[in-house]
Structure formats: structure tokens, C-alpha cells
Amino acid sequence: MFNKVLIANRGEIAIRVMRACRELNIKSVAVYSDADKNSLFTRYADESHPLGGSTPSESYLRVDKIIDIAEKSGAEAIHPGYGFLAENPKLGMECEKHGIKLIGPKSSVIEAMGDKIRARKLMKKAKVPVVPGTIEGVKDAEKAIKIAEEIGYPVMVKASAGGGGIGMRTVYEEDELVRAIESTQSVASSAFGDSTVYIEKYLEKPRHIEFQVLADEHGNIIHLNERECSIQRRHQKLIEEAPSPIMTPELRERMAAAAVRAAKHIGYTNAGTVEFLYSNGDFYFLEMNTRVQVEHPITEVITGVDIVKEQIRIAAGEELSYSQDEISIRGHAIECRINAEDPLSDFKPTPGRITGYRSPGGIGVRVDSGVYMNYEIPSYYDSMISKLIVWGRDRAEAIERMKRALAEYIILGVKTTIPFHKAIMRNEAFNRGELHTHFVDHHRKQIE
């Protein structure tokens, strides 16, 4: 096992990883930007080192500085968390050069899955259903029109390098297609440095259902069942739950088998998530995330598996601590992402000082957060400040518990998404489990 691990991230996920390190008796090394010098994670770590600068490109994206600090502090491994460098193959490559272990899959696998076209091709080979559409980049307008006609409108133009909900446009008719291709190309080129786009069928009211997989470096691979993440805004998740309210043993078996087949086919190791869109009884591969996900705690809550500890163990060369038979689901979990955003003002970020803070507690409540009383939320990073996770013996109890926990959660000084979550928990369609990825838009009036 490692003696020291560097966490190349900030906020709640940095603390989450450090907690796993502490339970494994591993010393943790934090790196932080100027804007984060008073952040909780810098104090939670056994040692903390400045990266300088405040923008991500000056700080958390600086592979050179992070490797340098890892070497100087004697860290044997780096955990990238999610976001920042987590899906950048460059970090893995540099780690390999410097004899540092990256806690994640091989950089070649990260690279392959980061390219959505390549991922679609690989999945087709693995006999995992993908969303109908092209498996080549589309450049030529005439060809694109022909392809879209074959697929049938509406279609989606997607950047092959896209991520974080950026680089996708829905197209309802032919007139809009060429312009959508051009604009997606230009967004993709400036956001990801790669203008390649492809076309796939736009599913009208799909559910987002994903499977957590764990694979060690000895060929063992298991799945930890599904999470449903259909409550989204602008293709970004806001609420996740596990298990999915529509899951049946038969569907779970088929989807889990596809997820495991996908991971096996690409030689996946460590923790990963295979995302699917589900619509009218069919499911389609969307993408694979080659890192720990924001919403991993709900799976931990219903299975009892510490996913981050498993990640570290796997990276240290150990075998999985569980066989598939040992994984079962107990009850129901829900996560609400608490963002410093004003839900009544188009979810505009609300950085600033937290002037009053009390987090909820009691039975079945878990809060993974990086903030505290008097903390100043910086404007440079993602606006998620906390994750509120609850467990209930069934979905109905989990919803009641979430309502109770949201009512207990006090954050003063900045507007947050807490009122939005309260409205969703009260929503009748949500309570009936009638979810789809446009739920938030669809129920806007009742939610506001």
C-alpha cells in the first residue's frame, strides 16, 4: 500500500479522497491555488503545497507543478478526483514517466474514452448498443444532411471531444443542421482544441442511467448496479438516485452485462462509469467516464462499498475486495447537488461569503462538503459546494428524509440550489418516479 498520496483537486472531492487515505493510514498531500488557501481541504491534508495562481489553467491544470510537488513530497500516487485533470491523458503519461502511480485507468484508456467517436466504435465492437448515428466525424454539409435524414430528426450534433454538457446541439429540421454543425465545431475547437463533430439520434425523453464498475489489475471486474441521473439542467446532473425507480431485475441484468462487457473490452482498470440513455425499453451507450463520479456516494450508501478506497487499493495492485456475489442493494439513496447558484435567476453562480452555516444530520444523512462558516466561495471554479446524500429503506422514505435534511440545511450569505431541491422533492411526478432528462424544463412552473 502507498505511504503518501497527492490529491490533484480541491473542494469536497479532495476531502473525500483524503478521508479514504486516512482510513487506509496513507498520508495525504494537498495542492492548492491562491484562491483556495483558506479552503478546508488544505487543512484536512497532512501537508499542503501552493500551486500559485487562481484560474484552473494557472493552478489545478498545471501537470508540471503537480508532478514536481508529488516528487518533492515523496507521494507515490496521485488521485485526480473529477474534473480538472481527471480525464486528461497527459497526467497519466507524465506520472508514468516519473514513476508515480495514477489512481485511475491507463492513460491510453482515458484517451480512447475521451474521444466519443472512438468510444462509439469500440462499443460497437464490444456489442454494446450505441445511440444510432455516425461513428465517423462529419464535415461535409451534403453528407451531413443525408445522414441526418437517414437517422431521422431530431438529431444531435456532438463534439467528439465534448464533456461537461458542452459541445452538443439539438437539431429539429434540416434548415438548422449546417449552422448547428458549424457552431458546434467552433465551440469544440475553442473549448477542447478539437473541432471534430458527429451526428446521433436525439432521444426525446430519455432517462440517464449509468452503471458503476470496478476492475482490478488482475482481470477481476464487478459492477455496483445503477444510478439514475435524469434530473438535469443544460445536460448537467442536479439530483441522482440509486437504484433507478424503473429498474427490473431483468433490465438490470442486461444493462449491467453491457457495462461489464464494455469495460472488459477496453481493458478497463480502476473505478469507472458506463453511461446509458434509456428510452422505451431500449438502452444505448452514451459515454464512459474514466474517473470517480460526483454521484458515487449514492452507490456507496446502497452497497456499502467505499469506492474511493477500492480505487486506491486497485492502484496499489491489490485485488478487488468483493466478488460480484457479495454485492447487493439495500434500500434507496438520493443525492442533491448543493450549488452556489440562484435557481430563480437562471442558476446564475453566486460566489461570496457564507455568513451562516449549519449542515443537516441524523439517521441516514451524509454531507460531503468543502465549505464552512465564513468560507468565501471563489468565483474561479465549479459552483457545487456540497452534496447532500440520504438513505431510506425505500424510495418514499428517502424522499421524506431528503425533505427533512434540506429543511435542516442552513446556508446564509449566498443563494443556493436548496429551494430548487425542496421543490423537486415535493413534485408529484418526481414522487411517482416519472423521470426523464427534460424533467426540470418540463416542470419549470411548479418548481419555481
- For the annotated catalytic residues, the residue numbers are 291
In the numeric block, which cell numbers belong to residue 226?
Answer: 445503477
Q: How far apart are CA 34 and CA 199, in angstroms?
A: 41
Place of cell 465545431: 185
**Contacts to ligand ADP from residues 283-302, by CB under 6 A:** 286-287
In angstroms, give the least distance from the CB of 327 to ligand ADP: 25
- The residue range among 13-21, 86-94, 161-169, 332-340 that interacts with ligand ADP, by the rule CB under 6 A, is 161-169
Kindly tell me which residue out of 50, 53, 137, 163 binds ligand ADP, with binding defined by CB under 6 A.
163
- The residue range among 2-10, 138-146, 157-165, 258-266 that interacts with ligand ADP, by the rule CB under 6 A, is 157-165
> Whose Cβ is closer to ligand ADP: residue 35's or residue 288's?
288
In the numeric block, which cell numbers belong to residue 210?
Answer: 449509468
Show the 3-state SS of 281-350.
CEEEEEEEECCCCCCHHHHHHHHCCCHHHHHHHHHCCCCCCCCHHHCCCCCEEEEEEEECEEHHHCCEEC
Kindly tell me which residue out of 235, 254, 330, 393 binds ligand ADP, with binding defined by CB under 6 A.
235
- Tell me which H or E stretch contains 128: none
In the numeric block, which cell numbers belong to residue 219?
Answer: 482481470
Q: Is 241 in the site for ligand ADP (CB under 6 A)?
A: no
- The residue range among 51-59, 195-203, 215-223, 255-263 that interacts with ligand ADP, by the rule CB under 6 A, is 195-203
Residue 140, C-beta contacts closer than 8 angstroms, at least 6 positions apart = none
The count of residues interacting with ligand ADP (CB under 6 A) is 19
Closest among 284, 141, 111, 318 to 210, alpha carbons compared = 284
In the numeric block, which cell numbers belong to residue 178?
Answer: 449546417
Do the beta carbons of residue 307 and residue 212 sit within 8 Å? yes
In the numeric block, which cell numbers belong to residue 101?
Answer: 502511480
> Whose Cβ is closer to ligand ADP: residue 207's or residue 252's?
207
- The residue range among 73-81, 163-171, 332-340, 367-375 that interacts with ligand ADP, by the rule CB under 6 A, is 163-171
Residue 189, C-beta contacts closer than 8 angstroms, at least 6 positions apart = 195
Q: Is 164 in the site for ligand ADP (CB under 6 A)?
A: yes
Q: Is 272 in the site for ligand ADP (CB under 6 A)?
A: no
In the numeric block, which cell numbers belong to residue 279?
Answer: 428510452
Q: How far apart are CA 199 and CA 284, in angstroms?
A: 15
Q: Is 5 in the site for ligand ADP (CB under 6 A)?
A: no
In angstroms, give the least distance from the CB of 153 to ligand ADP: 12
Kindly tell me which residue out of 48, 232, 269, 416 binds ligand ADP, with binding defined by CB under 6 A.
232
- The residue range among 40-48, 160-168, 298-306, 371-379 that interacts with ligand ADP, by the rule CB under 6 A, is 160-168
* Position 144, amino acid: A
Q: Is 131 in the site for ligand ADP (CB under 6 A)?
A: yes
Which residues on adjacent β-strands are paired with residue 367?
A: 388
> Whose Cβ is closer to ligand ADP: residue 294's or residue 405's?
294
Q: At what angle do helices 89-97 and 63-73 cross, to 10 degrees?
A: 40
In angstroms, give the least distance from the CB of 293 to ligand ADP: 11
Q: Would you call 6 exposed, middle or buried from its count of C-beta atoms within 10 A (0-12, 13-18, 19+)?
A: buried
- Residue 89's φ and ψ, nearest 5 degrees, are -60, -20
Q: x/- string (CB under 6 A) for ligand ADP, residues 323-362?
A: ----------------------------------------
Length of the chain: 448
In angstroms, give the least distance from the CB of 165 to ligand ADP: 5
Q: Is 129 in the site for ligand ADP (CB under 6 A)?
A: no
Kindly tell me which residue out of 156, 255, 314, 398 binds ligand ADP, with binding defined by CB under 6 A.
156
> Whose Cβ is closer to ligand ADP: residue 201's or residue 252's?
201
> Whose Cβ is closer to ligand ADP: residue 137's or residue 419's?
137
Kindly tell me which residue out of 13, 45, 61, 203 binds ligand ADP, with binding defined by CB under 6 A.
203
Q: Is 152 in the site for ligand ADP (CB under 6 A)?
A: no
Sign of the dihedral defined by the CA atoms of residues 245, 249, 252, 256, in that order = positive
Q: Is 206 in the site for ligand ADP (CB under 6 A)?
A: yes
Q: Is 162 in the site for ligand ADP (CB under 6 A)?
A: yes
- The residue range among 31-39, 162-170, 336-344, 405-413 that interacts with ligand ADP, by the rule CB under 6 A, is 162-170
Do the beta carbons of residue 135 and residue 124 sit within 8 Å? yes
Q: How does DSSP classify residue 154?
A: S
Residues that bind ligand ADP (CB under 6 A): 131, 156, 162-165, 200-203, 206, 208, 232, 235, 275, 277, 286-287, 437
